Structure 1
Amino acid sequence: MEDLSFVPDLPTGPLDVYRSTSSFNWKRLKLALEGDIELLKLKYKIWQTLEKDPLFAHPVETPSIQEQQRITQLQLKKINEYKFISNEMFNASYSKRTRVLMTINEAVQSINPSVSVKMAIGIYLFSNALLSLGTERHLKFYEATIKNREILASFSLTEVAHGSDARLMRTTATYDPARREFVIHTPDFEAAKCWIGNLGRTCTHTLVFAQLITPDGTHHGLHGFVVPIRDPDTLETYPGLIVGDMPEKIGVNGIDNGFIMFNQYRIPRENLLNRTADVTEDGTYESSFSEPSRILGAALENLSAGRIGIMQESCHSISSVVAIAIRYAATRRQFGERNNETPLLEYELHQWRLFGYVSAAIVFRLYIENFTHKYLAIVEKSNAGHRVDNLSEAVSEIHALVSCSKPLLTWTVLEAAQQCREACGGHGYLKCANLGDIRSNHEPTVTYEGDNNVLSQQTGNWLLRQYEAALSGGTVDSPLGTVAFLKNYNTIMERTFQCRSTDDMKNPKFIISTYKWLICWLLKLTHRKNEEQISKGLTKVQARNRSQVYHWRTLTKVYAEYLTLLFSLESIEAKEKNLQPVLMNLFSLYGLWSLDKHLVELYQGGFATVDMPKLLREALLELCADVKSEVVSVADALAPTDFVLNSVLGKSDGQLYQNLQKAFYSKPGVFERAPWWRDVVPSAKSKL
């Protein structure tokens, strides 16, 4: 057994009543969720180091936007100085190095999401793009970014008038053979690049995606260019650019999201990222792909890594909000017998409100841990030049998987933050509860790096291709095995509900098999609706648009839920045995909690009987009762340290009211007369 003494013990207090009923060691579960003891050690090292640094102290009151941006930039600078990634880690394998970088970003995100976004965009996403889209001539930018921290970058894709529809973006990069330069130009404000993190105040370079035009006037589609923006010594913007900081946002205001317009701005020819295509000195376009859409696809594929990062950060956000709500529910007493108030955690309604999100937090963590290993293994082999069987098909499946999982996770976390806020009553509305800030800082994830509703459509396209292949007797291209079951489509569709007890409902085999049936049915329903629209004379695009509501969108959500169950179950079966009972209960709870939302489809397709809703909901409530004795320790395993959690309601000592009193009393000027009292007392001026 690994030595987990580096994980601090929790203080004794009111929460011990529930902690004593747990069947497992919370530290062992924390390690199981992390998946690697060295990464867990690194996370605690970061948290403990930053807790001692006054620069990372939590402000009592919200600073101005300018101050938030200043503090965020200083914190990033200090994190770079701490050098949490050692030379040994930096020289490790691609997979190991990437997981270390992800761990650092996750640890920082828990303290200040603005800093983690700044790191993710300005260092990791930019450097990954250089590796995946660039060649040897761009290594100087990579070294300056990832190793020496001389460059802080941004990612300029979105424009004012175009976000998800990247093909119609209008920023141009026209090659000038006389000077061997590209001329970047913005035709009007609608084509201004906007919402670009780090661009508003701080970045020195940006990765611009622009329409490449050769001297003969041919448009070759969107390509990536490394573009210098500011003098690194003064942060003054270079001539030929209009760069501005965007207005105040709902959250994450430490990030200086900006907009930029180019006025015939010149960059060297070599700044074109040329792995997929290049322009010779005389202006000849050379590409390894014949279709511009494939070039765009290769460029945007780099975003998968960013979306996986968003999912990992979402796991930390949901872990924090459920930990706060559960600890509060265990210590907050309301109603009950005379002189013996009952903890909120004992009420079935409260369990039903929260425990589904607790189970989601666990299942999501196990899913991402397992999937990230598989994803990085494929990328590492590919980057090293090793043969990867069915690489193209694997990339397509990964893209489909990420394109529906990012929406599922980010939406679920947003719902969880709101439900947990409400479950903490009025006290949950306090800023020092931290539930509001977690929610506001998480909210942009449902939009950036792919609007959820638009992004998930790409998954639907891939699923329907596999369904059509299965129907025609062709090959289902699923190297990761997520839809390999489609080859048994006819057999699966013959199944109906057969459970006789709640124990049957809780069985993972029932949950997984029901999801397979549900995916098959939704594929049939969606395909039929799409074909009906085409038969009416609609184009493929028009038919797809008419098939979204209740079809395409529901299909991709169900597939995403199935993925979380499939990968997390595989992960649970590999964990230590004494953790498996609680993990299996949480797995079944998440599975039934999710299926409960799809009873209409289960009836519609003929799977469900009149007994199914009753048994499903009875099983769900039984699982809530079973989980109750374990849930505080589950929350302990999910929660970061008190400093990181930063919640007056969620402290690990359980001293709810003492902590609230301290928060009330520590507000600046709490007991003083308002400094503006003279402005509101009519007689004040006459007495002076």
Structure 2
Amino acid sequence: MNADLQRERAQASFNTEKMTNLLDGGAAKTARRRQLVSIIEKDPTGIFSNDDNYYLHRTDRHVRGLAKAVRLIEVCRKLGIGDECDGHMVASEDWNVLLIALADDLPLYLHWVMFIPNIISLCDDEQQAEWLPLCRDWRMIGCYAQTEIGHGSNVRALETTATFLPESKGGMKGGSFVINSPTITSYKAWPGTLGRTANHAMVIARLIDGDGVDRGVHNFLVPLRSMETHDLLPGVETGDLGPKIGYNTMDNGFASFNNVVIPRRNMAMRFSQVDEQGKYIKKQMSEAASKIAYITMMQVRVLITDSAGKALGKASTIAIRYSAVRRQGFKDSEETAENQILDYRQQQHRLFPLLASSFCFFMTGKVLLKALTSIEHRVLSHQPVNRVEVTDIHASSSALKSYTSMVTADGIEESRKACGGHGFLQASGLPEMFTTYLQNPTVEGDNHMLPQQVIKVLLKLVQAVATQNNKALNDYKPCDSGQLIPSLQAIMGGRKVTCPAQSAEDLQSLSLLRQALCYRAARLLVGAGKLVQDRVEAGRTPEQAWNDALVEMARTSRAYAQFLLLHNFIKGIDEEEKTHAMVGAPEIAVLRDMARMCALYWIEKDLGDFLEDGYMSAQHAGWIRTNVLAALDAIRPNAVALVDSWDYSDFNLKSALGRWDGDVYPALLDYARRDPLNAKSIGPGYDPHLKRLIVDGVGAYTPTTSRL
């Protein structure tokens, strides 16, 4: 065991095990997680090993990913995982624990993340009764085919068609739909699991009813491959999109459909249907329920937010442990001892806000997931759901997905760079972690497009405040955005609002920091709305005015996300302090240190937002910077223990630099020696290439009397 890591762990002011219990949701869940992790890591087949991942071709990574998936399913059946869910193992809490324990991505991922939820949300009882058992037994393996090679976020522009074909004109009994890809830009592109793995797809296509009317996009279950031979079915073409910068176990694919005929009942018919004569029928339902198609997309956004903290925690674990072990520069003129790079301020300023954010993102992810699950349950069980609730969580999930995934992607890369030259090696575990994570800022709504959806929702709240619509305001008050109402009322009422801090110590108050972030978000929101209005009054069209405000909208969305993150972090800490269910006073104190770190760092990075209207003064700005340094000091003694709290095993980290025992350099050399390039004492390029230079002399200099 490395002596530096031993000392770091010994100086921690809190109980690491208690913090781990908090992250897991209780001591019993920690024990269960460790039991399941042990099953994966000690599996006798060796299939789950990641030792040579970095040396494999992407095709081999994909095939190994399938082998891991099949073995995981086999293990789950033997252990009875999913028995409590009528055999649906992917609905078991243990399933997600096992997926994290694998520390590798599975090609089947979209089957349970989007395909099954679509069937549950959008298909009627009869359809579910037919298809869900096939999904449960892994006979039907599906993906979610929405995006096209020419269309991503603009779902309304999708070109794939599903045209009704009556039985009388050659359709199947009871009628059919004919799925077509009419143009090159209508080819489905990027769905995970589509390329080589799935045998069915939930295809999003334009419904053309029996009267020839385009009814907009709807969901259709389309068979892709034979469930017996896995051969492509007539009219279907699918394939893998090719090597990516990461996530290469997954077969992100393309697909085209040439007159592919499916039964009429393969249209998802929970909320709308087409009868045997081709008549389109939209069932009556609440306005919130009519948006159920978007819940699946929101679910994935929430999952991305929830997983961002875990990914950032993993990167922080590697970088902070390595920074405690790595020494650089001498402490004194005697040059008797080198400094731990974790003691350098710039290293702390790079890493500690990321560490604090990992806990902050994790807590907000849990809150968001719980809220969305509650809304989905009420919608599907026909309980009343306020329209504002749905649009509000749409805004929150969009803002948080955009912000947390961007910070995490950048944070993983910053962690890699913070490891110096060794961070450039795949052996550090960070390059693959970074390139694989990079999908998240783009999927399920590009991070630069989502702020528009956030602002579109929040401007309705601004309108309610402006018109003093008390009924609407009462609907907003229980929601996330309702917390902006007092600040919006003050700003729109023309009242001057300033930061009440009278000292640097005041600016360490979490309540005051939360208030500052709330006010900033509200002010920027009003400003974004005013910018659109001013541009229209200046003669711009509404579309042009909206486009002019996009940069301001992105800034506003980021500010709103930071406010929500801090609010949820503080709320979670306060609730834990009241109950002491899993942690005590020392752990609460450390959690508050991290909340303070997040808030101060975010304000420091965007001080202009707080200065431009006089909310903060130049003196406040100085206090913020002073307090950031104090926050770094507060976290420094606990940094290693905090990353230990994530409880990532060496198997999971796949990193020579982030090892629990700190034996970094032997591990690096072991990785190097196992490289296939080093399999023989003479390299594979020697004969015939290098030999021609060294032995045959093709590079020998011979003077010539003339040159061409």
Q: Could you tell me which of 675, 690, 693 is aligned with 1:680? A: 690
Superposed displacement of residue 658, structure 1:
2.9
Corresponding position of 2:199: 204
Whichever residue aligns with residue 64 of structure 1, its letter is H
2:148/2:187 contact within 8 Å kept: yes
Instruction: Output the CA distance in 2 between the equivalents of 1:660 and 1:172.
Output: 53
Whichever residue aligns with residue 68 of structure 1, its letter is R
Q: Give yes or no for the alignment of 1:593 onto 2:601.
A: yes
2:144/2:201 contact within 8 Å kept: yes
Instruction: Output the CA distance in 2 between the equivalents of 1:18 and 1:552.
Output: 43
SS of structure 2 residue aligned to 1:15:
helix
Q: Deviations over 1:552-597 (max 9, x none)?
A: 1111111111111111111111223321100000001001111112
Corresponding position of 2:702: none
Q: Could you tell me which of 342, 345, 349 is aligned with 1:345? A: 342
Q: Deviations over 1:511-550 (max 9, x none)?
A: 111012101210121111010122234333322111111x
Instruction: Output the CA distance in 2 between the equivalents of 1:98 and 1:398.
Output: 25
Q: Give yes or no for the alignment of 1:159 onto 2:143.
A: no
Whichever residue aligns with residue 662 of structure 2, its letter is G
Q: Deviations over 1:315-369 (max 9, x none)?
A: 2211111000000011111112211111011111111111110110111111112
Instruction: Output the CA distance in 2 between the equivalents of 1:450 and 1:98.
Output: 27
Cα 1:379/1:102, change in 2 over 3 Å: farther
Superposed displacement of residue 483, structure 1:
2.4
Query: Matches of residues 578-589 of structure 1 in structure 2 within 5 Å?
Result: 578=585, 579-589=587-597
Corresponding position of 1:7: none
Superposed displacement of residue 413, structure 1:
0.7
Instruction: Output the CA distance in 1 between the equivalents of 2:695 and 2:289.
Output: 72
Q: Give yes or no for the alignment of 1:375 onto 2:384.
A: no
Instruction: Output the CA distance in 1 between the equivalents of 2:88 and 2:263.
Output: 32
Cα 1:409/1:361, change in 2 over 3 Å: same
Superposed displacement of residue 33, structure 1:
1.6
1:429/1:436 contact within 8 Å kept: yes
Instruction: Output the CA distance in 1 between the equivalents of 2:485 and 2:240.
Output: 53
SS of structure 1 residue aligned to 2:524:
helix
2:342/2:348 contact within 8 Å kept: yes
1:397/1:480 contact within 8 Å kept: no
Q: Which is greater in Rg? A: 2
2:236/2:256 contact within 8 Å kept: yes
2:121/2:292 contact within 8 Å kept: no
Q: Give yes or no for the alignment of 1:553 onto 2:554.
A: yes
Q: Give yes or no for the alignment of 1:360 onto 2:357.
A: yes
Instruction: Output the CA distance in 2 between the equivalents of 1:186 and 1:256.
Output: 21
Q: Give yes or no for the alignment of 1:490 onto 2:489.
A: yes
1:324/1:647 contact within 8 Å kept: yes
Q: Give yes or no for the alignment of 1:577 onto 2:584.
A: yes
Superposed displacement of residue 100, structure 1:
4.9
Q: Give yes or no for the alignment of 1:79 onto 2:72.
A: yes
Q: Could you tell me which of 311, 314, 319 is aligned with 1:325? A: 319
Corresponding position of 2:210: 215
Cα 1:564/1:45, change in 2 over 3 Å: same
Corresponding position of 1:525: 527
Instruction: Output the CA distance in 2 between the equivalents of 1:339 and 1:571.
Output: 46
Instruction: Output the CA distance in 2 between the equivalents of 1:211 and 1:289.
Output: 21
Whichever residue aligns with residue 50 of structure 2, its letter is H
1:181/1:267 contact within 8 Å kept: yes
Higher alpha-carbon deviation: 264-273 or 18-27: 18-27
Q: Could you tell me which of 167, 190, 207 is aligned with 2:185? A: 190
SS of structure 2 residue aligned to 1:309:
helix
Cα 1:671/1:625, change in 2 over 3 Å: farther
Cα 1:50/1:98, change in 2 over 3 Å: closer
Q: Which runs of 5+ in 1 are unaligned?
A: 1-10
Corresponding position of 1:8: none
Superposed displacement of residue 13, structure 1:
4.4
Query: Matches of residues 469-508 of structure 1 in structure 2 within 5 Å?
Result: 469-474=464-469, 475-476=472-473, 477-478=475-476, 480-488=478-486, 489-491=488-490, 494-508=496-510
Corresponding position of 2:275: 280
Q: Which runs of 5+ in 2 are unaligned?
A: 577-582, 698-708
Instruction: Output the CA distance in 1 between the equivalents of 2:272 and 2:394.
Output: 22
Corresponding position of 2:580: none
Tell me the TM-score normalised to structure 2 length: 0.90
Cα 1:383/1:425, change in 2 over 3 Å: same
Corresponding position of 1:615: 623
SS of structure 1 residue aligned to 2:243:
coil
Q: Could you tell me which of 28, 40, 43 is aligned with 1:50? A: 40
Superposed displacement of residue 619, structure 1:
0.2
SS of structure 2 residue aligned to 1:630:
helix
Q: Deviations over 1:353-409 (max 9, x none)?
A: 111101101111111123323332333344344x34x43221111111111111111
Q: Could you tell me which of 233, 253, 256 is aligned with 2:248? A: 253
SS of structure 2 residue aligned to 1:211:
strand
Superposed displacement of residue 42, structure 1:
4.1
Higher alpha-carbon deviation: 599-608 or 85-94: 85-94
Higher alpha-carbon deviation: 26-35 or 417-426: 26-35
1:43/1:103 contact within 8 Å kept: yes
Identity of counterpart residues, as a percentage?
A: 24
Q: Deviations over 1:60-93 (max 9, x none)?
A: 3431222111111111111111116734531599
2:4/2:325 contact within 8 Å kept: yes
Cα RMSD over matched residues?
2.5
Instruction: Output the CA distance in 2 between the equivalents of 1:331 and 1:194.
Output: 45
Instruction: Output the CA distance in 1 between the equivalents of 2:289 and 2:490.
Output: 40
Corresponding position of 1:64: 57
Whichever residue aligns with residue 644 of structure 1, its letter is N
Higher alpha-carbon deviation: 275-284 or 131-140: 131-140
